[in-house]
Amino acid sequence: MLPHPTLAAHYATPEAKPEFVNRLFDRGAKHYDSVVDWGFLRSGASYRRWTLQQHGLRPGAHLLDVACGTGLVAVEAAKILGTAENITCLDPSAGMLAVARTKLAAHFVLGRAEEIPAPDNTFDFLTMGYALRHVTSLEETFAEYHRVLKPGGKLLILEVTKPAGRVSAWFFRLYFGRIYPFLTRLFTRSRDARDMMRYYWETMDACVPPAAVLAALEGAGLTAVKRHIVLGLFSEYTAVKPVPPAG
Ligand SMILES: C[S@@+](CC[C@H](N)C(=O)[O-])C[C@H]1O[C@@H](n2cnc3c(N)ncnc32)[C@H](O)[C@@H]1O
């Protein structure tokens, strides 16, 4: 299942999506941190760290941060782990990875969630921040998460989800669809940065409902599948790879 239907204004077929998305983030990479910093009222770093702690990331864990981008999740994870040496950062955008490399001494891998270049049963914890909309298949992605997690390992997927209420949905649409891309262009003077944030909105708007994400996680054989919602806006999907029965 695609996380959202093909967005014909940007690419003609699902196969063309990865190249479009890659170009978008390669071009927007140098603006990404500043734009998400003010766009989310400077809450990004503390929220990422808080939610990692809440969901049980602890020192000693081997972490895979899928769609690491410029490293915003990984940097906060390294503060909790006390080191970046057990963190692997995966992203298909060389531009985003280049920014991340300047921030922490983790292992950096160019690659996609749907085809993770790592052996089975490698990681205790897996994170994906604000990128589920960019994969080409939820099933392939979650099968890979199941494969690379150790038995008992946990995943945490962070997303921004359109609110359910009419008034909040209207405000959400106005802010993410119009105000945020407009201010991004104004502050950065970059069309690439504006296009990145416009696409951010378009994919949120078209995204499958949370129930479909939860069903796909369960379908991949993960257990304890849950969605926690913060401020009616921030979805935290968690799941655990089951431990096989002894004997
Ligand atoms: C909005 S950024 C999120 C960056 C970071 N995780 C954060 O918390 O801010 C989305 C990232 O997803 C990456 N991405 C796009 N398609 C992907 C895929 N198929 N697999 C893994 N990452 C992907 C992009 O290159 C980009 O760096």
pLDDT at 40 over 80: no
CATH of domain 14-164+197-240: 3.40.50.150
pTM across the whole model: 0.95
Task: Report the C-alpha gap between 93 and 50 in whole angstroms.
Answer: 26
**Strand, helix or coil at 119?**
coil
Task: Report the C-alpha gap between 96 and 25 in whole angstroms.
Answer: 7
Decide: 21 in ligand 1 pocket, CB within 6 A.
Answer: yes
Burial class, 81, CB count within 10 angstroms (exposed 0-12 / middle 13-18 / buried 19+):
buried
pLDDT at 6 over 90: no
Ligand 1: residue of 46, 64, 104, 134 to mutate (most ligand atoms within 8 A of CB) is 134
pLDDT digits (tens, 9 = 90+) for 204-242: 988 899 999 999 999 999 999 999 999 888 999 999 999
- Side chain identity, residue 43: S
pLDDT digits (tens, 9 = 90+) for 47-89: 999 999 999 999 999 999 999 999 999 999 999 999 999 999 9
Confidence class of residue 165 from pLDDT cuts 50, 70 and 90?
confident
Mean pLDDT of all residues in 115-136: 97
Distances (CA, A) of 92 to 25, 61, 72, 142: 9, 24, 16, 17
Q: Where are the domains of the chain?
A: 14-164+197-240
When the pLDDT of each residue in the chain is averaged and rounded to a whole number, the result is 95
The per-residue pLDDT for 39 is 75
